[in-house]
Every structure is written in structure tokens, then in C-alpha cells.
Amino acid sequence: MPGRRDAGSRPWPLDPLDPLSVDEELRASLEDLAVQVAVEAGRLVRDGRPAAVDVHRTKSTDLDVVTLMDTRSETLVRERLDAARPDDGVLGEEEGVTGGSSGLTWVVDPIDGTVNYLYDLPAYAVSLAVVLGDPTRPGAWSPVAGAVVAPRTGEVFSARAGGGARVRGADGEGEPVRLRVGDAQDLAGVLLATGFAYDREVRVGQARVVADLLPRVRDVRRMGAAALDLCHVAAGRVDAYYEVGTHAWDVAAGMLLVTEAGGVVSGLGAQDPPSEAMVVAGGPAAHATVRAEVERLLAGR
Ligand code: IPD
């Protein structure tokens, strides 16, 4: 496998940005752990959902809600990770950063699609990725393994660097199906997913971009969970996805799913890393077309 090295003979971490520098066996066991913990958290979130979910608090804006279950899910994930991998760091959406000494950090979204969860729309997920490097700095980290669990459909998406991406049904008990991105070539044939920020002002600009794209693509989907949008790109269920304002916990696992399914993920510029400023993902041709269009539109051209 290109880039693969022997982890036993080199100091740790081998290369903060090369996920293939992590021993293959360890990458496989990290994927298994991500799946196991995300499935357990997904069951907690789904089975423990009260008939009427209360907003526990709000964060960045009045639209950015946190439910009690976001907090309980993150607590469970942290407890399980601490028991299994006490030397790893954790970056969680609700509780922030806990340092580690192994060079690996878990990036946790305890419920991605919280507004869907609030309204009992099925498109929500638990997203867990383990990354090399510093996930708080764009371009300074790289996912090694991850899982995205959609508890309401029972789908468990997972991937490890160099090991492909797959989906299993039945809360992970089903047979694995290998994922492959779609092959849409032209903008007119692209089924495009996107998302909108919690900041009402930012949405004004986002509406302009999507209004320009809408008549020129096959159609647009706004499903409300960035981690699942990326899984859908990986599965070829949409051709491309872009969004401004996501955080590492929204996208870390999904990004790996896309690249391991043969797709491309970037920031706004072709060479830019994905960041809060922009994430664009798709099959190679759809990614290139959508990224160039979004870049042109945001530049006001
Ligand atoms: C949000 C969802 C949404 C996306 C937002 C995210 P949260 O995550 O992924 O689809 O548009 O940018 O913040 O708040 O539900 O974890």
C-alpha cells in the first residue's frame, strides 16, 4: 500500500498528517472502536428520545440548539473512549478539547442534525472520527478512522484510511456494502447537497449562492446533518456537497468516508484544506465543477 510504513520501528506519532503512518492493524481496531461507541451512543439517543424534546440551551445563535441528549451522548462517548484509549485526546462539540499524549484525537459530534432530532426527523447521526494532528487548526489534521451512525435508519457508515468505506444496516449487524462516490460529470447532472448556517446574516449570502446554482443543477437537497450529507456523497446518493460554517466534529468522519469511497474533499480553493470557511466534497468531476462554481459565486463573479 503506497505510503504505508512500519509503525513498530518508528517513533510515535510517525507523521502528524499521514494517516497511513498508523499501523494498519491499529487503524482497523480504531474503526471498530468508532463503530462500537457510535452505535451505543446512537441507541441511547434514539431509544431515549422523549416524545417532546426540550431545548436545553442555545449556543452560537438562538437557532443553534443543544438538547439534553447531546450532552448525555457526548458523556457516554467520552466515558467509552477514556476506558478504551485513555491516552488519546478528545474534541467534542459540547465539551470542547481534552488533551492526550498518543498523537491521536477523537472528534465527536454527539448528535449531528440536532434540529432534526428536536423535530423527530430521522436525518440525525452520531459522528466519531479519530484523527492525527490538531483538529482545531484547518489543514493540521487528517482522519485515520471514523464512523457515522444514523440510529433512525440503523445505518452504520465507517471507514479507515487506506481501508475503504462501507455501510452496514441493522445498527451495524448487517453485511458491509462497499461505498463508491457517484460519477456525475456535468453541473446539470449534479444532485447537490448543502446546509445553512445558524447565523441569520450568513444565510443571506448562502441563499444567493444556492439561488444561482439551483436552476443549473439536477436539484438541491438540504437534509440537515452534515455528517450524513458526506456519507451520502460517499454512497453516491448525492453527487456533491458544499457548506460554509461546519466544524471539525460535523465533517471529520464524513470526509474520510468520501475520500475512501474515491471522492475528493477540499476547501474553497482547489488546494485549500476543508475548514469552517468551506467544505466541498464529491466525486472527482462533480467536486471540481461545484468547487469552481462556488468559488466564482463567492467572489461575486
Ligand atoms: C449542524 C448540521 C447541519 C449543518 C450545520 C451543522 P449540529 O450540526 O450538520 O446540517 O448545516 O452547519 O452545525 O449542530 O446539528 O451538530
Q: What's the average model confidence in pLDDT over 194-216? A: 96
Q: Which pLDDT does position 275 carry in this prediction?
A: 95
CA 114–ligand 1 middle distance (angstroms):
7
pLDDT attached to residue 53 = 75
Ligand 1 midpoint to CA 161 (Å): 24
Domain with residues 187-298, CATH architecture: 3-Layer(aba) Sandwich (3.40)
Ligand 1 center–CA 221 separation, angstroms: 14
Query: Which range, of 64-73, 196-205, 219-228, 269-278, averages the lowest pLDDT?
Result: 64-73
pLDDT per residue as tens digits for the range 122-142: 999 999 999 999 999 999 999
- Is residue 269 pLDDT above 70, yes or no? yes
Which CATH code for domain 19-178?
3.30.540.10
Mean pLDDT, residues 236-243: 98
Whole-prediction pTM: 0.94
Tens digit of pLDDT for each residue in 40-99?
999 999 999 988 777 787 777 777 767 899 999 999 999 999 999 999 999 999 999 999
Best residue among 230, 250, 278 to mutate for probing ligand 1's pocket (most ligand atoms within 8 Å of CB) is 250
Position in ligand 1 atom list of the atom nearest CA 197? 12
Distance (Å) from CA 115 to ligand 1 centroid: 8
Centroid of ligand 1 to alpha carbon of 127 (angstroms): 11
Residue-level pLDDT at 265? 97
Q: Which of the pair, 12 or 296, is modelled with greater confidence?
A: 296
User: What tens digit of pLDDT does each residue of 101-125 get?
Assistant: 999 999 999 999 999 999 999 999 9
Atom of ligand 1 nearest to the CA of 227: 9
Per-residue confidence (pLDDT) for residue 9, from 0 to 100? 39
Pocket-testing residue among 246, 251, 255, ligand 1, by greatest number of atoms within 8 A of Cβ: 246
pLDDT at 4 over 60: no
The residues lining ligand 1, judged by C-beta closer than 6 Å to any ligand atom, are: 93, 109, 112-114, 195-196, 224-226, 243, 245-246, 250
Q: Is the pLDDT of residue 16 over 90?
A: no
Q: How far is the CA of 285 from the centre of ligand 1 (A)?
A: 26
Lowest pLDDT segment from 6-10, 48-52, 169-173: 6-10
What value does the mean pLDDT of the chain take? 92
Closest CA to 266 of 257, 228, 255: 255
Using CA positions, which residue lies closest to atom 15 of ligand 1? 113
pLDDT band at 10 (very low <50, low <70, confident <90, very high): very low
Cα separation, 68 vs 52, in Å, equals: 12
Domain residue spans of the chain: 19-178, 187-298
Cα(246) to centroid(ligand 1), Å: 7
